[in-house]
Structure 1
């Protein structure tokens, strides 16, 4: 084989590899989850904060499946704990001054 033929073949192979690299990069970019959910703001937020969303969904499901009488007890004790925590934080804020 002569040098001109080999050079032409090498140039063709380099061009083919460049086209394949561009195609592969485009396909990989399309497969990324952040790109798929970019148009959906809520889905993008859920994907970014997956642990928080799963925790909230689990808590909501637990509340739905809980009996009403028991739910009232949990709600009153949670409200009491919330009030106690707010009071404690207020006392801590006064002590820091």
Structure 2
């Protein structure tokens, strides 16, 4: 019997491991959600699910509100924004 040397066996194992790593990397790359979907928007949605679902929920909530309530909400939001800007300007003056 002609046994291969230890160095030859080691080289063969290193080569097989490299092939397996390459194959595994290729399979993992093809399984990623952003790569399954070719469209850039679909890849973004797959990567940022929480943000997209939150925005869709807020949009749906706004769509289901009555117009009067939506206008009142927008007016109160604008008022709160103006008050916040005024408060921040006052704080900036006090810091000087």
Tell me the TM-score normalized by structure 1: 0.68
Instruction: Show the counterpart of 1:22.
Output: 22
The alpha-carbon deviation at position 86 of structure 1 amounts to 0.8
Instruction: Show the counterpart of 2:95.
Output: 96
| Aligned counterparts of 1:43 and 1:94: Cα–Cα separation in 2 | 46
Moved more, 3-12 or 52-61: 3-12
The alpha-carbon deviation at position 92 of structure 1 amounts to 0.7
Instruction: Show the counterpart of 1:31.
Output: 31
Alignment of 1:1-97 (within 5 A): 1-4=1-4, 15-36=15-36, 40=40, 42-46=41-45, 49-97=48-96
| Aligned counterparts of 2:48 and 2:95: Cα–Cα separation in 1 | 34
The alignment yields a C-alpha RMSD, in angstroms, of 3.3
| Aligned counterparts of 2:78 and 2:18: Cα–Cα separation in 1 | 63
Gaps of 5+ in 2: none
Gaps of 5+ in 1: none
The number of residue pairs the alignment matches comes to 96
